[in-house]
Amino acid sequence: MQRFILIAVPYAWLLALFLVPFVIVFKISLSDIALAIPPYTPTLKDGFAAFVAGLDFENFAFLASDDLYWKAYLSSLQIAILSTFMTLCVGYPIAYAMARAPEEWRPTLMMLVILPFWTSFLIRVYAWIGILSSEGFLNQFLLWTGIINDPLTILNTNAAVYIGIVYTYLPFMILPIYAALDRLDGSLIEAAEDLGCSRLQAFWLVTIPLSRNGIIAGCFLVFIPALGEFVIPSLLGGSETLMIGKVLWEEFFNNRDWPVASAVAVILLLILIVPIVLFQRNQQRQAEEET
């Protein structure tokens, strides 16, 4: 009995916070737009038979008929993949340096990585507007040093979106890699060097493979939220930044078309399920290896 209750808790959690909202969104995606409160039809007020009869897959057919949507999905995928890669390139050396730092420094370094979370995410993204704008700190500094003569246009371009995503999600990349590197047995590297590896070879053949799980976990933790990101592209991006989060917002707010917006969200979820399942598998395998 106790065991049953223990298992029931996470399942109830999943049911209430994942499955029920998803069913609601899925239902709206099968509805039609209406000028009413709420702005779609049918609702349960119409009676159950009419409710079921009023549902169809029209909105999904509509998504397929317009190239805007798949272009937005592709462009979001591109931005998410590239920014994940960049975050990895920036995050790995930081995690490596942290793991190699003297034992007594590590809690402080860890603290410094987590510290930005104490400020609201929104305010930190807003701060980048002040840094990147054409009259912002970065341009003022570069003009002052004489490196450039005309201010760079960074804000309101895709470059600013990449900077925003890499900055925001960097801790999610550093922490799992650091955890993996921290557990790394230093004697393995010594053994590799004794057996004739150069330092670079030892890093490539021993350190990287042994921190693989951290790299994978970090990449997923960055990739998944970056794909549906809305705040960063809308604040830092320009008119050419096409991301599915923005398209979703437009369907919902500008078109008042909740059914099509819901259909876009359902497809986004389907796209995300692939990496999430891969991530789960990796976690499972890791757990098995450890036991």
Partner 1 sequence: MKKFLMSTAVIALAATAAGADTVRVYNWSDYIDEDLLAKFEAETGLELIYDVFDSNEVLETKMLAGGSGYDVVVPSGTFLQRQITAGAFQKLDMSQLPNIENMWDVVSSRTEQYDPGNEYSINYMWGTTGIGVNVPKVQEILGTDAPIQSWDLVFKPENMEKLAECGVHFLDAPAEMIPAALNYLGADPDSHDPDVIATAEPLFMAIRPHIQKFHSSEYINALANGDICVAVGWSGDILQARDRAAEADNGVEIAYHAPNEGAQMWFDQMAIPADAPNPAGAHVFLNFIMDAQNMAQASNYVYYANGNAASKEFLVEDVIGDTAIYPDEATLENLFTTTPYPAKVQRVVTRMWTKIKSGT
Interacting residue ranges for partner 1, rule: CB under 8 A: 33, 35-39, 66-68, 71-72, 122, 126, 133-135, 153, 156, 231, 234-235, 238-242, 247, 250, 252-257
Considering the complex, state which of residue 226 and residue 242 has its C-beta at the smaller distance from partner 1: 242
Considering the complex, state which of residue 254 and residue 291 has its C-beta at the smaller distance from partner 1: 254
Considering the complex, state which of residue 41 and residue 282 has its C-beta at the smaller distance from partner 1: 41
**Beta carbons of 215 and 174 less than 8 angstroms apart:** no
**Beta carbons of 282 and 216 less than 8 angstroms apart:** yes
Shortest distance (Å) from residue 122 CB to partner 1: 6
Find the length of the chain. Answer: 291
Shortest distance (Å) from residue 170 CB to partner 1: 22
- The b/e string for 111-147 (b: 16+ C-beta within 10 A; e otherwise) is eebeeeeeeeeeeebeebeebbbeebebbeeeeeeee
Shortest distance (Å) from residue 260 CB to partner 1: 9
Considering the complex, state which of residue 211 and residue 251 has its C-beta at the smaller distance from partner 1: 251
Shortest distance (Å) from residue 172 CB to partner 1: 21
CA 26, CA 64: separation in Å to the nearest integer?
A: 17
Considering the complex, state which of residue 38 and residue 93 has its C-beta at the smaller distance from partner 1: 38
**Beta carbons of 152 and 228 less than 8 angstroms apart:** no
Provide the β-strand partners of residue 41. 32
Shortest distance (Å) from residue 239 CB to partner 1: 5
